[in-house]
Amino acid sequence: MNTQPTALHDATEKEEFAADIYLVLHEDLRRSAKIRAVADFLGEVLAERAG
């Protein structure tokens, strides 16, 4: 019996992944300054990484 772990893939290889991301907010929370700040930050970071 083989007790050595088997690697499923090489961790040094980067895989491409593309998907649409939707940020959904409850209407009441959308008006919160803290929630708005987080939503704006996520939008900026994701837009920068998208190219």
pLDDT of 9-31, one tens digit each? 666 767 777 788 888 989 998 88
User: In the chain, where are the structural domains located?
Assistant: 21-51
- Cα angle 7, 10, 13 (rounded to 5 degrees) comes to 160
- How do residues 28-44 score in pLDDT, each as one tens digit? 988 899 999 999 999 99
Looking at residue 46, its pLDDT comes to 87
CA distance 32 to 40: 12
Check residue 51 and give its pLDDT. 72
Residue showing tokens 């019996």: 1
Residue 6: pLDDT over 80: no
